[in-house]
Amino acid sequence: MEKLVSLCRRRGFIFPSSEIYGGLSSCWDYGPLGVELKKNIKQAWWRAVVQQRADMVGLDASIIMHPRVWEASGHLESFTDPLVECKNCHQRWKADDLTENKCPSCGGELTDERQFNMMFKTFMGPVEEAANVVYLRPETAQGMFVNFQNVVNTTRKRLPFGIAQIGKSFRNEITTGNFIFRSREFEQMEIEYFVKPGTDGEWFDYWLEARLNWYTKLGIKQENLKLREHGKEELSHYSRRTVDINYLFPMGWAELEGIANRGEFDLAQHSKHSGKSLEYHDNDTNENYLPYIIEPSAGVDRSTLAFLCDAYDEETVVGELRVLFHFDPALAPYKISVLPLSKKENLTALAKDIHTELCQHWMVEFDITQSIGRRYRRQDEIGTPFCVTVDFDSLEDNQVTIRERDTMNQIRVPIAELKNTLQAKLAGEDLFVLPPGGKIWKVEKESAT
Ligand code: GAP
């Protein structure tokens, strides 16, 4: 984990928040590369669960909701952790995390447990009084439940169908840590899938498989994923069944995503507390009922950490360490880097023209400093799948080389074929499938110097 944290900091994936003030505990800022990686993860999720499906629609609900939402959802009462305080140093601890009945920091005596609500509280408007208390949402889910009827009425979707949402959630976690794994401000990608009661079991299995496949299709190794069924005693207050998709993070197996069968709990609660019926009229059977909800709930930051961990690799090439991220091209922050072999003006002018053309289609870097070997390694270290090298021959033959990150193999292709060739390679075509006029250029591993 330390290696990853340091690489992420050094190369501009993730910085400690407010770093010049000493950082803010458990808050992180995504830098120029991190913001691209995170955006690509969210886009891949949205494409898979909204764009490519006729039975899903999206939503972007506000973070601050009516305070009664949290009464109805059970969060005011049940979204708590048992907390103890050291009578000597006054540090607070999550009771569940302690193995001994003394302060892990100073060995002092601990108070009895008390329940600590993890929602962030603030005030709406200028007067700080009880009537104006609002909460930052601890999950995006409630925005989808309270908009269920709005979505049915405006989209005319029939069961089974789902709503998807990506957005920030906030939890005043007692213990945070392990980099971006657990923080107090984080992003979720949640699906609420509404089904006819009685069909919930099969839809649960369906979504479990669909979500597992999403991770492996984007490169997470099968052996680093496993399922964990929640025991009856640990189920959340709303859940009939929960299975976690766990990932083998550097600190051990831990939850990446949870799939829950929330039954009719949420729609029933919001009907009761709002006084508005959230029943669904089934035209096929002419019945009214509350749909059951299957909820695949993933963390954007945890997914980002899992994709970083899984893609990280080190190997020795020509006696030197090569560090690289094997990101799937869909997730890589930059897809291509354009590298003129030297800083000579005629070469950089041609390289800049190529960059200008390619960046109409993808995130493309342009790097001009250091030896070509060092520049290849810099791109490997940020997971760029392809480098395009412009050399002196390019000025004569109008051809450039494409160098593949994972194999370091190179082909040479006419500039006129470059865009289409890169498009095919980014979509997974073998490097040695050549465009008209192309040739295999280099198959030996290159040195960094
Ligand atoms: N609506 C259901 C729900 O929120 P959850 O298991 O509490 O369920 C779902 O959270 C996902 O959100 C988790 O699997 C995790 O990926 C992410 N998540 C939860 N708390 C987090 C935190 N403090 N920091 C980062 N990610 C978190």
Residue 80 exposed, middle or buried by CB count within 10 Å (0-12, 13-18, 19+): middle
Residue nearest to atom 14 of ligand 1 (CA): 257
Terminal-to-terminal C-alpha distance of the chain: 28
C-alpha 439/C-alpha 432 separation (Å) is 8
* pLDDT tens-digit readout, 301-315: 999 999 999 999 999
Q: Is 301 in the pocket of ligand 1 (CB under 6 A)?
A: yes
Question: Which residue positions in the chain have pLDDT lower than 70?
Answer: none
**Amino acid in position 91:** Q
pTM (two decimals): 0.94
Ligand 1 atom at shortest distance from the alpha carbon of 171: 23
* pLDDT tens-digit readout, 61-100: 999 999 999 999 999 988 888 889 899 998 888 888 888 8
**Mutation to probe ligand 1, out of 26, 188, 192, 307 (largest number of atoms < 8 A from CB):** 188
Q: Is 211 in the pocket of ligand 1 (CB under 6 A)?
A: no
Ligand 1 centroid distance, CA of 350 (Å): 48
Ligand 1 centroid distance, CA of 433 (Å): 43
Q: Is 302 in the pocket of ligand 1 (CB under 6 A)?
A: yes
Angle (CA) 53-55-148 rounded to 5° is 135
What is the reported pLDDT for 131? Answer: 84
Ligand 1 atom at shortest distance from the alpha carbon of 257: 14
Q: Is 141 in the pocket of ligand 1 (CB under 6 A)?
A: yes
Which structure tokens are listed for 126?
A: 């200028």
**Mutation to probe ligand 1, out of 184, 215, 249, 297 (largest number of atoms < 8 A from CB):** 297
Nearest CA to 354 among 298, 293, 402? 402
* pLDDT tens-digit readout, 384-422: 999 999 999 999 999 999 999 999 999 999 999 999 999
What is the reported pLDDT for 33? Answer: 98
Q: Is 298 in the pocket of ligand 1 (CB under 6 A)?
A: yes
Residue nearest to atom 22 of ligand 1 (CA): 182
Residue nearest to atom 4 of ligand 1 (CA): 139
Q: Is 171 in the pocket of ligand 1 (CB under 6 A)?
A: yes
Ligand 1 atom at shortest distance from the alpha carbon of 297: 9
Ligand 1 centroid distance, CA of 299 (Å): 6
Q: Is 190 in the pocket of ligand 1 (CB under 6 A)?
A: yes
* Pair 108, 129: CB distance under 8 Å: no
What is the reported pLDDT for 127? Answer: 87
What's the farthest any 2 CA atoms get from each other in the chain? 80
Ligand 1 centroid distance, CA of 112 (Å): 27
Residue nearest to atom 18 of ligand 1 (CA): 299
* Pair 315, 359: CB distance under 8 Å: no
**Mutation to probe ligand 1, out of 225, 302, 303 (largest number of atoms < 8 A from CB):** 302
Ligand 1 atom at shortest distance from the alpha carbon of 140: 1
Residue nearest to atom 20 of ligand 1 (CA): 182
Residue nearest to atom 21 of ligand 1 (CA): 182
